[in-house]
């Protein structure tokens, strides 16, 4: 790897971890030592606090293994039971001992959802297909708690983003996100990926577009 232009050196480990999350579309974790837990909690914390965009975080064990289930037992007994995290936060990760289930979890996350950014204090979700009218009504009813104002609506790049916004052909879901409910936002994305109106997965585009840089929200 020495001399490879793709090799990046970091003086501080926290900088390395930050870039690791920033440039990732998903995180897959396998049984390991302190570093494994360090990076697991780093990824969960950044996503939970909204410092990183939602992404699949999958904890993979060998068939029949209990490594991550024992970790989850600690999380439930020491964190969830003591109200140090919310029940919704457990939707930020998946534990499995099936590699195919892990792959499916990651690819399904991008079945309809593509990326997100903030524009003029509104959250804009790029999606491959907009929900039908009745599906949008259900989303508004079920996710009213994450809205700071107004309703979830369907938009376009022309009305919500600069003219040079990437992927202008894709529909957008626009909402005044309260910025305090990252786990619920993840659940909203899961719902968008499971809309009844979506084509079958085999008919959908496969490539995952890398998330473009955010526009900084207006203070």
For 46-62, the pLDDT digits (tens) are 999 999 999 999 999 99
Q: Where are the alpha helices (DSSP H) in the chain?
A: 13-22, 34-48, 67-74, 99-109, 133-142, 157-160, 182-192
90: Cβ contacts below 8 Å, ≥ 6 apart: 75, 76, 80
Residue 7 lies in a domain: no
The total domain count for the chain is: 2
Q: Where are the alpha helices (DSSP H) in 8-132?
A: 13-22, 34-48, 67-74, 99-109
Residue 72 lies in a domain: yes
What CA–CA distance (Å, rounded) separates 90 from 30? 18
Query: Which of 109, 143, 170 is a domain's end point?
Result: 109
Residue 4 lies in a domain: no
Range of the domain at 49: 13-109
Residue 214 lies in a domain: no
Query: Which of 87, 109, 131 is a domain's end point?
Result: 109
- The stretch 156-180 carries a mean pLDDT of 86
Residue 167 lies in a domain: yes
pTM equals 0.85
What's the confidence (pLDDT) of residue 213? Answer: 39
Phi, psi of 5 (to 5 degrees): -65, -15
Phi, psi of 152 (to 5 degrees): -75, 130
pLDDT in tens, 18-27: 888 888 999 9
Per the CB < 8 A criterion, the answer to whether 157 and 165 are in contact is yes
Q: Kindly state the percentage of the chain with pLDDT values over 90.
A: 72
Same domain, 66 and 125: no
pLDDT in tens, 79-137: 999 999 999 999 999 999 999 999 999 999 999 999 999 998 999 999 999 999 999 99
Tokens of 85: 């995290």
Q: Given the structure tokens 């990076």, which residue do they identify?
A: 39
What CA–CA distance (Å, rounded) separates 211 from 113? 11
Residue 216 lies in a domain: no
What CA–CA distance (Å, rounded) separates 104 from 60? 13
Same domain, 17 and 104: yes
What is the bridge-based pairing of β-strands 113-119 and 57-60? unpaired
Same domain, 117 and 199: yes
Question: What angle do the packed helices 13-22 and 34-48 form, to 10 degrees?
Answer: 60
Which whole-number Å values give the CA distances from 135 to 11, 55, 112, 157, 197, in the listed order? 48, 23, 14, 21, 8
Residue 91 lies in a domain: yes
Residue 144 lies in a domain: yes
174 pLDDT higher than 60: yes
Per the CB < 8 A criterion, the answer to whether 93 and 57 are in contact is yes
Same domain, 83 and 158: no
Strand partners, 173: 125, 154
Tell me the pLDDT band of 212, cut-offs 50, 70 and 90.
very low
């Amino acid at each position: 790897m020495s001399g490879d232009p793709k090799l990046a050196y970091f003086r501080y480990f926290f900088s390395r971890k930050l870039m690791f999350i920033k440039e990732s579309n998903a995180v897959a974790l396998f049984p390991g030592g302190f570093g494994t837990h360090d990076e697991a909690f780093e990824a969960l914390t950044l996503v939970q606090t909204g410092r990183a965009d939602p992404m699949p975080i999958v904890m993979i064990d060998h068939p029949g293994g209990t490594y991550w289930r024992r970790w989850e037992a600690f999380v439930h007994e020491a964190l969830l039971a003591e109200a140090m995290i919310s029940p919704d936060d457990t939707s930020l990760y998946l534990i499995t001992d099936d590699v195919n289930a892990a792959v499916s979890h990651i690819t399904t996350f991008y079945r309809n959802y593509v990326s997100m950014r903030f524009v003029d204090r509104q959250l804009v979700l790029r999606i491959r297909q907009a929900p039908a009218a009745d599906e949008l009504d259900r989303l508004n009813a079920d996710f009213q708690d994450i809205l700071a104002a107004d309703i979830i609506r369907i938009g376009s790049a022309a009305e919500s983003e600069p003219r040079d916004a990437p992927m202008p052909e894709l529909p957008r879901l626009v909402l005044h996100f309260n910025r305090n409910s990252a786990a619920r936002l993840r659940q909203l994305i899961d719902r968008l990926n499971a809309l009844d109106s979506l084509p079958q997965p085999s008919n959908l585009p496969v490539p995952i577009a890398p998330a473009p840089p955010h526009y900084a929200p207006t203070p």
